[in-house]
Amino acid sequence: MSRSPTVHTLKLMRSRGYPLVEVVEHWNPHVGIRQDLFGILDVLCVGDDGVVGIQTTSDTGMSARIAKIRAATIEVKRGDQVETVDVLAALRRARVRVLVHGWRKRNGRWWVREVELSLSEGGPPT
């Protein structure tokens, strides 16, 4: 790809009217990898209709990213206890929309396939 999927997502979300659009993944030099916010988000957008977190990838990488998001947990220390938090469930409870953008180039033009994971199976976030 000539431009990264993240760059395409930034442009798309700004065109949708989100005034605050920011890359939230970062390079961790200690382990030599890029780390996503909460282990799943590359871009965070804030607008009048709320907050959107997005994982960006190529179109062929979407199923792996969706599986990664659904399986993501974080260990959180609360006093002497360690709690495992389901990241997607916590974002759903906070009413953060979670999207996966899969980008591909066809006939000289970039196309996005967008999958929303914000809604739990069987209904809206609780």
Give per-residue burial for 46-62: e unless 16+ CB within 10 Å, then b: eeeeebbbbbbbeeebb
5-116 placed in CATH 3.20.14: no
Single pTM value for the model: 0.88
pLDDT by position in tens, the chain (length 126): 457 899 999 999 999 999 999 999 998 888 888 899 999 999 999 999 999 999 999 999 999 999 999 999 999 999 999 999 999 999 999 999 999 999 999 999 999 999 999 876 544 444
Tell me the domain boundaries of the chain. 5-116
What is the amino acid identity at position 27? Answer: W
